[in-house]
Chain A
Amino acid sequence: MNDGDVEHSGNETTATAEGTTRREFLKVLGVAGAGAAAAACGPPDTGDKLIPYLIPPDDIVPGTSVSYATLLTGAGPEPLAIHAQVRDGRVIKLEGNPSRPTGGALSALAHSSLQDLYDPDRVPGPRQRTANGLVDATWEDGIAAAGAAVAGGSTVLLTPPAVGSAARFYQEWAAAVGATWMPWEPLGLEALRTAHGIAFGIDAIPTYEINSSDHIVCFGADFLGTWLAPVEMGARFAAARMPGHGVQARFSFVGPRLSLSGLKADEWIPARAGTEVLVALALAREIASRKADGRAARVESVLDPFTLDSVAEAAGIEAEKLRRLADQVATAKAPIALPPGIAAQGPVATDMHLAVILLNYVCGAIGSTVKFDGETVRPRHVPFAAIADLGRRMSAGEIQTLIVAGVNPAYATPASLGFAEALSKVPNVISLSPHADETTSAAGWILPSHHELESWGDGLLSRDYMALAQPVMQPVFDTRQREDILLQIATAAGAADSFQAADYSGYLQGVWRELHDRLPAGAPGFDDWWYQALADGGVSLAVPPVTDVAPPLTAAAANYSFRATAAPADFSLITYPTVQFYDGRGANRPWMQEFPDAVTKAVWNAWVELHPETAGPLGVETGDLVQVRTEAGSVTAPAYVYRGIRPDTLAVPLGQGHAAYGRTAAGRGFNALDLLDGTPDQRSGALAYAGAAATLTATGQRGKLVIMQGSDVDLGREIAELINIDDVPDAMEHEIDLTTLVEAAYDSDPRSPYRWGMAIDLNACTGCGACVTACYSENNLPVVGEDLCDQGREMSWLQIMRYYEDTEEGFQAVHFPTLCQQCGDAPCEPVCPVYAAYHTPEGLNGQVYNRCVGTRYCANNCPYKVRRFNWFTYERPYPLNLQLNPDVTVRSKGVMEKCTFCVQRINRAKLDAKDEGRLVADGEIQTACMQSCPTQAITFGNLKDPASRVSRMAKGARGYRMLDELNTRPAVTYLKSVTHAAMPESEHGHGGDSEHGD
């Protein structure tokens, strides 16, 4: 098949075929070879060759990236349709599939999947555990041994929740060999699902359309960071919070600790841990009593005991505050309540979810902002209780063979359950995981499977979109597709007849053939359709629109008896997932260890968050070692004094403290699950991550906690700006006086048509850090390690500073992405004695690495502190070096480096434009950070084009420049963050901006 055929094959069944030019199509090239998706053949690539191919395969243009559309399911809570940039047979960068609603956006964890693929600690081939430890083995022996074990019966297959055809495959496989298949997700949605089952009698995860809401009340879910679908929710949140379009949704956060999401809230209702359920019920009661409609009548009796005052008392909050919140929600046009998520998932998780559902019900959100579209697209998984039970059965010797593939229960279950010990009671433990994690370390056989990026797969992204995953490169190690290993095991176990396909790609095609058969007449042939789907990353499905988005409330819910949890004597403990580690899977990725936590800005460690009022009497400061003790265990870790947590609450992050997994994760922090006793919620079987009773003692010793931010406040320097919504000027554009324009024009060569600039909307920025990791990936930023971070030698070109701004009643965080401002009159340039720092004709502050001698004067003279010096030459152990972007120089010791707005991307676009005899169009260039931002907080473009998006934003009423008084004329305009909270009068008595309204 040639490209022309493929181009022809587009038709109305595909989402993007129409209007696809040949050029675009080639950019997003699918696999045009029969089945051979991988770009390369030949010997393993060790990364020591500048040009990997002596004679490249026909379809490879050296020096040009090819985008392969595929699907990433293991990078956080949501499946992500991505484009993998493949250069000369190596995947070097991941980006969101631009044809999907979230565009190029990805999460930090998703970007770091590359370091999972290229993890030097991956199991490089089949291994057998013998008396002498792990020894190399052959696939044949491994498959045979596994087949024999499975044939022995009493087999359990443990996998992550399977999306798409894989779910069907695992079920068929389990049926064929007589095994039990248990899909499991540690940070799962079992409580949410159970509560919806009780409330509406349906098995569904709703869509939370916060974008069309005008008041978001969150009961703990970290929806912008780690819960449900942070990339999608980020986009929705940004839409809800755009000021200037008349409305900006109010955002209230209920819970004992401000998470990444909570830090964006206008108002914090610091309810005691476990009492969020009461607050939700009290709000529901109050609103029901005002609305007094049919819905209110249905739940009147169940809500009756929860009066505002009694709940305020129990939750340890001011009744007045709660009443005001009730007023606001009652008068809101489209309020929405978000459930507890993981961080607030206590011992009565189902009740808490149900309370939120009732609140949504009485305020009319069900069906308007909380929508059910029938069948859920979220894969089902067994609850935590089932895994606990599996552990018990293993201990009892009931399990003969355990096949673990891609989950790590020995780490991700509380140690008090003894899953690790139970593993030793299982005669045959076979791991199909690519990593030598805690569970795999106990396996008798390790038959390592491919990374997702090396695998075939598919999955529903929404009701009407089926995504397709394809291998984007040759396997890095001697691994096999997970499903292929299972097929081979099944064959070895004598169940070969159950499957017609010889391998999983064949199986997958078989399933897709069924999908194709359902297409209306006139659809293209299967091959055309299939290759187009590969090229696009999936197909749109013709499904009838859902009418019943608001199912009726069941009687069970209307008469539910809510359980309460008693407040612990000393402290309530919260264990919460972080953006960087999630359930622990990010811990062996250097980018993620060096990722400053969104809340604490700490790196390479785990910590204990406590309130200043708690820390003060104990004499504890950030970095001092404290001991947290629960009934299940105790940990000693550095303290982090945090004003966003209740004084009676402690919080610790999940994901660190790995006993195995790899060199980067080893010896980092502690496993917060060691503090949990593992009692599941009775109704849903979910693990209680919050609410354990804990005690705290100061050890008097100093620990090490590296915080990547100097001061938390900007000391009135007007760096991070937060204004009240009433102070947002009406005028959409500044009046720009002529001199400024003329000056700005000379910030680049007057003959150049371009002056590159950026606008960053602080109101949209959630601090999720996707841009930071995207920058690491795109620009070959080295990871320096904990000690060098401690010495202030981190290399991130883009950092998100988290500044606290005081409001009248509390405080709010302003996340402030700091990167090179590409000043028009840059202080760094004149001081360089050798012209290594120079001004490009397009206004960028260029940096010539080859010319740099390393006086570091430029960095001293940079008021924004965005230049980074290579204190050492940083190594990337093979195969991490395969990820390096060939478009960007890898710097070595003694050289200064910095952000140049992804100048390699600018140049590529300029070359394309030059080929076509035109100027670069607005939006044609996306910097890596901008592309990756779920909330589209970053806009890049040409400031000389008055019609460009960035020009309009730069002139926008909320715009200001960082440290403008220095007259450096930055090309980056920040847009002030906007809050509903009242701002103190003394600070931010606006100078210029409020006058514009006059």
Chain B
Amino acid sequence: MATAEIEVPTQELPSLADANRDISRPISTPYRRYWLLLGICGVLIAAAGVAWALQIRDGMGRAGINNPVNWGVYIVTFVFWVGIAHSGTLISAVLYLVRSGWRTTINRTAEAMTIFAVMTAGLFPLIHLGRVWYFYYLVPYPSTRLLWPNFRSPLVWDMFAIGTYFTISLVFWYLGLIPDLAGLRDKFTGLKKRLYGVFSLGWQGTVKDWSHYRRLYLYLAGIATPLVLSVHSVVSWDFAMGIVPGWHSTIFAPYFVAGAIFSGIAMVITITIPLRWAFGLDRYITKYHFDNMAKLLLFTSLIVGYSYGMEYFLAWYSADPIEMQSFLWRGTGFYAGPFWIMVFCNVVVPMSLWFKATRNSLKALFVISVFVNIGMWYERFVIIVTSLAHEFDPSAWHVYTPSLTELTILVGSFAWFFFWFLLFAKTLPTISIAEVKEHLAHEHEHGH
């Protein structure tokens, strides 16, 4: 990736000491604003918790789902968060392997986002379960009934795919944190020192440490890379393996992976811009980084747009009246609104990124990324709900509208995600100090 010549950082390069101080500053300074945000998240999480508790007490009927639309906002949001979780690995592992320099300042945030997004996504299969108290039936454990889960079910694949993804992402993230944790250990005293000390695993920064560290990081990047493709492919198979018209399609895996990267990058942009502003990291996360992310966004938007077109082409080409009716209805029926919101947000709006001026305007980029986030939520809504609402037997058709319980839990999921993110931003360096310093050292050495 010949990114270096496109955009040269214009600001003065920070010194290595600046990097240490700037990046770890938020860890020591509490703001009132921060507590307020954390409080809002807490309240919203509590509201969602109450909604879930009532749903467990009364039954799934508190959600708006019905027969035939048995999956609604919960699964939509699940897929949405799994998608968000995607860019972390992409940025960390894939870009690491291809030696893309621009990942350095955003990979920590992206990885953290991945972890929190998976933690959020992981809640939804539970929330959506009719009898959540028996969730462990899905786990292959040696039960006295000698029953295993059904390994033919995409839901079981899903559990393994996401479990694997979470584990690798967590280890990868943690490994990258170790040098920085050691730095923090050295910076603080008292309890903090001890805590950071424990988690830095006795890092001394010796050449031997670095050598092992680098080797492991590379291996993990290698292991994590296929997961970028596998996780969302498996999630897409939840649908593609079903026979529902609108789901049963071979393009789903690449389509979903592209969509996931699309939404993931959008979320990284949505988060990094305020973070950069709030923590004063302008000198570290620069337009150069945003320009690159915008290009990736544009690229994946084109893939997603192509997939939308391809779905319609395949429906027409199949000459299957049921498939055709399903897609015709998707764009013109009860859910035409969500469908066109999806097209507008995911295909039309990102086209403005062809212009350099748009890519260089953080405000524009922020707005576009929010549009993409909304659009990608609607994409999953359109795929899941419109397909289920109009299946094979016309007499069984029925539409679905989300209930207050579902919307509360949807909002709560964002609060839960940001809650973790806020904790992260306050306790760990949001940019990899070690990597930045390495990068800076390189830059200082060679000038430009």
Indicate, yes or no, whether A interacts with B: yes
B150 engages A793 (CB within 8 Å): no
Q: Tell me the complex Cα distance, A855–B60, Å.
A: 11
Chain A residues with CB under 8 A of B395: 709-712, 714, 719, 799, 801, 803, 816, 818
B351-410 interface with A by 8 A CB criterion? 388, 391-398, 400
A717-B392, A853-B129 known; A834 vs B150 contact (CB < 8 Å): yes
Residue B168 CB within 8 A of the other chain? no
Which residue of chain B lies nearest to A834 when distances are taken between CB atoms in the complex? B137
User: B159 — nearest CB in chain A belongs to which residue?
Assistant: A833
Q: From A498-506, A513-521, A869-877, give the one contacting chain B.
A: A869-877
Contact A894 B59 (CB under 8 A): yes
- Decide if A736 is an interface residue (CB 8 Å cutoff): no
**Contact A854 to B60, CB < 8 A, known contacts A792-B69, A834-B138:** yes
> With contacts A832-B150, A833-B138 known, is A869 near B130, CB below 8 A?
yes
CB-CB < 8 A to B243: which residues of A?
827, 861, 863, 966
Q: Which residues does chain B contribute within 8 Å of A801, judged by CB atoms?
A: 393, 395
Q: Are B388 and A860 in contact (CB under 8 A)?
A: yes
Asked if B150 and A895 sit within 8 Å, CB to CB, the answer is: no
Against B, the Cβ 8 Å flags (1 = close, 0 = not) of A713-729 are 11111010000000000
- Across the interface, name the chain A residue whose C-beta is closest to B137: A834
B134 — nearest CB in chain A belongs to which residue?
A853
Across-interface contacts of B448 in A (CB, < 8 A): none
- Residue pair B59, A873 in contact (C-beta under 8 Å): yes
| Contact, CB under 8 Å: B393 / A831 | no
Q: How far is the CA of A895 from the CA of B61 in the complex (A)?
A: 12
Interface residues of B in 62-118 (CB under 8 A from A): 64-71
Minimum Cβ distance to chain B for residue A765 (Å): 14
For residue B242, CB closer than 8 A to chain A, the reply is yes
Provide the residues of chain A in CB contact with B322, threshold 8 Å.
717
Residue of A nearest to B384 (CB): A860
Those of A634-653 within 8 Å (CB) of chain B: none
Query: A856 within 8 Å of B by Cβ?
Result: yes
Chain B, residues 231-243, CB within 8 Å of chain A (1/0): the string is 0000000100111
Give the contacting residue for A870; candidates B59, B129, B156; CB below 8 A: B59
- Interface membership of chain B positions 133-171, coded 1 if the CB is closer than 8 angstroms to chain A and 0 otherwise: 011011000000001011011111001000000000000
- Report whether B396 and A710 are in contact in the complex, using a CB–CB cutoff of 8 Å: yes
Q: Is the CB of B130 within 8 A of A715?
A: no
Cβ distance B162 to chain A, nearest Cβ, rounded Å = 13
Residues of chain A with a CB closer than 8 A to B130's CB: 852-856, 869-870, 893-896
**In whole angstroms, how far apart are the Cα atoms of A709 and B68 in the complex?**
12
Contact partner of A861 (CB less than 8 A), chosen from B131, B244, B325, is B244
Interface size on B, residues (CB 8 A): 49
- Tell me whether B321 is interfacial, beta carbon within 8 Å: yes
- What is the minimal beta-carbon distance from A883 to any residue of chain B, in angstroms? 23
CA distance A816 to B238 in the complex (A): 31
A306 near B: Cβ within 8 Å? no
In the complex, which of the residues A830, A856, A860, A962 contacts B152, with contact meaning CB atoms closer than 8 Å?
Answer: A830
Q: How far is the CA of A869 from the CA of B125 in the complex (A)?
A: 17
| A-chain residues with CB within 8 Å of residue B321 when the two chains form the complex | 715-717
Q: What is the CA–CA distance of A855 and B238 in the complex, to the nearest angstrom?
A: 12
**Docked-complex contact A711 and B398, CB < 8 angstroms:** no
In contact, B150 and A830 (Cβ under 8 angstroms): yes
CB 8 Å contact bits of A889-901 with B (1 = contact, 0 = none):
0000111100000
What separation, in Å, do the CA atoms of A791 and B241 have in the docked complex? 27
Known A-B contacts A714-B394, A833-B149, A896-B130; A853 and B137 likewise in contact (beta carbons under 8 Å): yes
Instruction: Chain B residues near A859: list those with CB within 8 A.
Output: 67-68, 70
Q: Which of A716, A788, A833 contacts B156 (CB 8 A)?
A: A833
Within the assembled complex, what's the spacing in Å between the Cα atoms of A801 and B125? 33
- The digit string for A578-615, where 1 denotes a CB below 8 A from any CB of B, is 00000000000000000000000000000000000000
Complex interface: chain A residues within 8 A of B152 (CB): 830-831
Does B12 count as interface, using CB distance less than 8 angstroms?
Answer: no
Of A792, A799, A869, the residue contacting B398 (CB under 8 A) is A792
A-B contact pairs, 29 of them (CB 8 A): A709-B395, A710-B394, A715-B321, A717-B393, A717-B394, A719-B394, A791-B64, A791-B66, A792-B67, A799-B395, A818-B395, A827-B242, A830-B150, A831-B153, A831-B242, A832-B153, A835-B150, A853-B135, A854-B131, A860-B71, A863-B392, A865-B396, A872-B58, A872-B59, A893-B61, A893-B130, A893-B131, A963-B392, A966-B243
Given contacts A835-B149, A854-B130, 8 further A-B contacts (CB under 8 A): A710-B397, A792-B66, A793-B67, A816-B395, A853-B134, A854-B60, A854-B129, A859-B68
